[in-house]
């Protein structure tokens, strides 16, 4: 579900602060640029507050953020709810021993890595990214956490592109977003 | 600068939460891994608090964070002091018009980019990264901000590698770090 339907009064400013950049990274794609949201301290704070209000007191001990824009939203949420922050990264960035999950792109494959030992079995986790499109990256993230025995409570994104059906790809895992872009 | 005498009591836990990984990314390099600090909720909280205590009420309106680990520490600081967060990125990641600054690496060069219009002339800024080594990346970030008329008040890092003399490379620009990794 998204906060869109019974719209919290903070959502409107968040939505209007997101800049849409046509034809990036390639023709036909309307890129959702959250950097303009980060330039509005109140809208950025409200974005974090909306997530924190939802997740504090829910016994979540892990916030996993997907490189790189998940690193912007994940840590403030983690700090506010008292959870650890676990970066999920592109290959060869994490220096210690890692486990990896491969996932498909439009053309070819990519890989997401997590440090061994970052997360323990039985921990309750959130996965955070700025946006869900096809859901491929979020699925890879969930798989990494579940493989080490964590429970993924929910995926949380600022933006959803519902036409790309990422929500369905999450296989029943709940998804919470603030803004939809059609 | 970090103080040895009368060192804030939070610093020792922060320092010991950082994992050192030999020979990463290549033989001879001792890598300072902050991901273990992010797993220690108190140490992570204290790290942010140390920066926030230093910078709140200093009229800082911009926190610029260097991709990617600067994205982890910068936003919580920005949110706490009411500043905007500006990501400084590798080439071709930012979707809108950018300005670029080239800087040298050990072998070859790299480019750092910032969105046009993210900051305005006269604003007061911090530059944040997890670590300062040679200072090349921080210098590039400072230059980008100064080119558009911003006053860089200070550079702030969790860790300094003093042997690499990054502090001298910053010239007259002050540097604040929490941990010295000698």
A76–B38 C-beta distance less than 8 A: no
Model pLDDT, residue B4: 52
Q: Cα separation of B80 and B56, whole Å?
A: 8
Q: Which residues of B are catalytic?
A: 69, 106
Q: Give A5's pLDDT tier (boundaries 50, 70, 90).
A: low
B31 contacts on A by Cβ (under 8 Å) = 95
Average pLDDT of the residues in A77-96: 98
- Digit-coded pLDDT (tens) for B18-60: 999 999 999 999 999 999 999 999 999 999 999 999 999 999 9
More confident residue, B110 or A3: B110
| Greatest C-alpha distance within chain B | 47
Spatial separation of the C-alpha atoms in residues A99 and B72, rounded to whole Å: 21
Strands B151-160 and B175-180: parallel
C-alpha span between A108 and A104 (Å, rounded): 6
Query: What confidence category does residue A153 fall into, taking pLDDT thresholds of 50, 70 and 90?
Result: very high
pLDDT exceeds cutoff 90 at A74: yes
The answer, yes or no, to whether residue A129 has pLDDT greater than 60, is: yes
Residues of B with CB under 8 A from a CB of A: 19, 21, 24-25, 31, 33, 35, 38-41, 44-45, 48, 67-69, 71-73, 75-76, 78-79, 82-87, 89, 92-96, 115, 118
pLDDT at A106: 78
Contacts 24+ apart (CB under 8 A), A138-143: A138/A66, A138/A166, A138/A169, A138/A170, A139/A103, A139/A169, A139/A170, A139/A171, A140/A101, A140/A102, A140/A103, A140/A111, A140/A112, A141/A64, A141/A66, A141/A88, A141/A101, A141/A112, A142/A170, A142/A173, A143/A101
- For the four alpha carbons of B15, B18, B23 and B26, in that order, the dihedral sign comes to negative
Q: List residues bridging with A115 in a β-sheet.
A: A98
Distance between CA A94 and CA B10 in Å, rounded? 26
Which is catalytic among the residues A10, A54, A69, A92?
A: A69
Shortest alpha-carbon distance between residue B40 and chain A (Å) = 7
For chain A, the maximum distance between any two Cα atoms, rounded to a whole number of angstroms, is: 44
Mean pLDDT taken over chain B: 95
Question: For residue A72, which residues of chain B lie inside 8 Å, CB to CB?
Answer: 71, 75, 85, 87
- In the predicted structure, residue B1 carries a pLDDT above the cut 50: no
In chain B, which residue's Cα lies nearest the Cα of A77? B76
With contacts defined as CB-CB under 8 Å, which chain B residues touch A92? 25
Q: What is the pTM of this model?
A: 0.96
pLDDT at position B140 over 60: yes
Whole-number average pLDDT of chain A: 95
Residue B3 has pLDDT above 60, yes or no: no
Task: State ipTM.
Answer: 0.96
Chain A CB contacts of B24 under 8 Å are 95
């Amino acid at each position: 579900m998204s906060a869109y339907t019974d719209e919290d009064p903070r959502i409107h400013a968040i939505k209007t602060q997101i800049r849409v950049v046509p034809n990036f990274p390639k023709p036909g794609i309307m890129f959702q640029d959250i950097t303009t949201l980060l330039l509005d301290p109140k809208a950025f704070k409200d974005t974090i507050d909306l997530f924190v209000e939802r997740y504090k007191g829910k016994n979540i001990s892990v916030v996993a953020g997907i490189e790189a824009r998940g690193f912007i939203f994940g840590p403030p949420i983690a700090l506010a709810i008292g959870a650890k922050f676990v970066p999920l990264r592109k290959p060869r960035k994490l220096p210690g021993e890692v486990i990896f999950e491969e996932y498909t792109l439009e053309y070819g494959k990519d890989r997401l890595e997590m440090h061994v030992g970052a997360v323990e079995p039985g921990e309750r986790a959130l996965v955070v990214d700025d946006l869900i499109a096809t859901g491929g990256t979020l699925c890879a993230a969930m798989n990494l956490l579940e493989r080490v025995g964590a429970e993924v409570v929910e995926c949380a994104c600022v933006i959803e592109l519902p036409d790309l059906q990422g929500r369905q790809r999450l296989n029943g895992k709940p998804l919470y977003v603030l803004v939809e872009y059609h | 600068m970090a103080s040895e005498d009368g060192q804030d009591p939070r610093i020792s836990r922060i320092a010991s939460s950082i994992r050192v990984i030999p020979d990463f990314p290549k033989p001879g390099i001792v890598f300072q891994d902050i991901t273990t600090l992010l797993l220690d909720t108190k140490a992570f909280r204290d790290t942010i608090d140390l920066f926030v205590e230093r910078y709140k009420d200093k009229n800082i309106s911009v926190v610029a964070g260097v991709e990617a680990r600067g994205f982890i520490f910068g936003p919580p600081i920005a949110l706490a002091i009411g500043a905007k967060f500006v990501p400084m990125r590798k080439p071709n990641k930012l979707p809108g018009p950018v300005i670029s600054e080239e800087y040298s690496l050990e072998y070859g060069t790299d480019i750092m980019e910032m969105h046009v219009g993210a900051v305005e002339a006269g604003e007061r800024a911090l530059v944040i990264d997890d670590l300062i080594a040679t200072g090349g990346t921080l210098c590039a970030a400072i230059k980008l901000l100064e080119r558009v008329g911003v006053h860089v008040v200070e550079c702030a890092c969790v860790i300094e590698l003093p042997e690499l003399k990054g502090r001298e490379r910053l010239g007259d620009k002050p540097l604040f770090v929490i941990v010295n990794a000698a």
